[in-house]
Amino acid sequence: MYQEDKTFTLRFSLEASFPDDYEGEVDNQAWVKEWEGSIKPDLLKALFESLRRHQSWKSHIRNRGKSPSDEIEVVLARDFSKPQGFSLSS
């Protein structure tokens, strides 16, 4: 089977600023824990809810050996090798 692909990158860089008298990691990186525990899961949930509305595309997460705290790859796949059928939805 012939297959084509394209990569699109959406990168998030997390930054936290502290006062000059901050001693470093006093908060035990609570700001990173907020990202990992709340923001990132909410973002992924919203992403996959949106992707499911495009029924001709299938989506899943692929692991390329990096930690999910550093990278999450979302794969969108569309199979043109099968009959597409007819749909009344827009």
What's the pLDDT score for residue 82?
A: 77
State the pTM of this model: 0.77
Residue 83 has pLDDT above 80, yes or no: no
Residue 35 has pLDDT above 90, yes or no: yes
What's the pLDDT score for residue 50?
A: 97
Residue 25 has pLDDT above 80, yes or no: no
Query: What separation in angstroms does the CA of 40 have from each of 13, 46, 54, 56?
Result: 12, 10, 22, 26
Q: Comparing C-alpha atoms, which of 53, 78, 74 is closest to residue 11?
A: 74
What is the C-alpha separation between 33 and 25, in angstroms, rounded? 12
Average pLDDT over residues 15-38: 88
Q: What is the pLDDT of residues 57-66, one digit of tens each?
A: 999 999 888 8
Domain coordinates in residue numbering, the chain? 47-79
Tokens 């470093």 locate to 24
62: β partners: 73
